[in-house]
Amino acid sequence: MSYDHLHADQHAQPPELKDLLKDISIPPRPSSLVDLQRELERDDPRIDKLEGIVNSDVAMSAALLKIANSPWVGLSRSVNTVSESFSILGFKRCQHVLTEIALRKVLPTKGPTLYRFWDVSSKRSQAMGLLASRVGMDSASAQTMGLFADVGIPLLAQRFELPSYIDTLGEAAQSELAFTQVEQDRHGTDHTVIGSLLAKAWGLSADVAQAVRAHHDYDIGHTRHSHFVQELVALCLVADHIIQRFQGLKSHIEWLKGGAMAMNVLAISQTDVDNWADELHDRFATEC
């Protein structure tokens, strides 16, 4: 998405929000990701070009090799080159891994709360990518939405120290009000607004950006959003609920607010959720 379009989005906001956005820096998409996407959009992406782009960044190349050699992939031999990683993991998965690495480099994430942000974002992304195929959804879009759902959080934590945005997160997580309403009341904006702006700036699809914006809207079935956006929001909540259970948190207030909606949109039952939780918990445990 061009900066012209990003600025147009900001100008469409109320004046008071426009003033806030001036103080919140939306990190631009790194040039390496722009080059990567441009090459992947070719009818026949060139492995040598992709390898050159990735090898220009040590963190990117190391991340691809780590994933390709992980127990989840289950190869009987070691993967030693970026080109092998692309062949084994596929273009879409490699692009996702590299996007996560780029996000980690540009987002401020100091402190235990923001460390947990990355742990949850990574698990959510994995979970949504895996579960999407179970309900006939596009796995790549689901995985990307899971990664970007909460990217507004570290940006707002950096912007608001007094009153503390970290304190707001704790309050919102326990409130019967909508999560974003607590944020709006204290700061005049919320992480879904900022996250959707970043998603657009990084060239994500309109559906994914809309899902990031709407993922705490549990009345989404009564909105003008497409069914796919509704599915992304629903699957995001299911993934978050499963992660909460993995972390030993028996009471998940967001699930109480929106769980029935999520199961209805995805046409699944509580038994499905429980079975998925067992499967994902085994996978999460292998990472610990």
pLDDT at 7: 43
For the chain, 288 residues long, give each residue's pLDDT as a single digit of tens: 333 344 445 444 555 556 555 667 889 999 999 999 999 999 999 999 999 999 998 888 998 998 888 877 778 789 999 999 999 889 988 999 899 989 988 887 777 767 788 889 999 999 999 999 999 999 999 999 999 999 999 999 988 988 899 999 999 999 999 999 999 999 999 999 999 999 999 999 999 999 999 999 998 766 778 999 999 999 999 999 999 999 877 668 999 999 999 999 999 999 999 999 999 998 888 765
pTM across the whole model = 0.86
pLDDT at 16: 53
Instruction: Give the closest residue to 134 by CA, choosing from 283, 245, 267, 240.
Output: 267
282, two tokens? 């085994």
pLDDT at 77: 84
pLDDT at 2: 38
CB 121 within 8 A of CB 146: yes
267, two tokens? 């046409």
pLDDT at 21: 59
Instruction: Give the closest residue to 188 by CA, choosing from 153, 156, 223.
Output: 156
Answer whether the bond into residue 15 is a cis peptide, omega within 30°.
no
pLDDT at 165: 94
- Rounded-to-integer distance, Cα 86 and Cα 47, Å: 8
Find the helix packing angle between 206-214 and 191-201, rounded to 10°: 170
pLDDT at 59: 86
> Which 8-state DSSP code applies to residue 81?
S
pLDDT at 63: 87
Find the helix packing angle between 139-148 and 227-246, rounded to 10°: 60
pLDDT at 149: 97
Q: Enter the CATH code of domain 109-287.
A: 1.10.3210.10
| CB burial string 7-25: b at 16+ within 10 A, e below | eebbeeeeeeeeebbeebe
167-180 pLDDT, tens digit each? 999 999 999 999 99
Instruction: Give the closest residue to 20 by CA, choosing from 134, 149, 165.
Output: 165
pLDDT at 13: 53
Question: Which residues in the chain are classed under CATH 1.10.3210.10?
Answer: 109-287
| CB burial string 34-47: b at 16+ within 10 A, e below | ebbeebbeeeeeeb
pLDDT at 31: 92
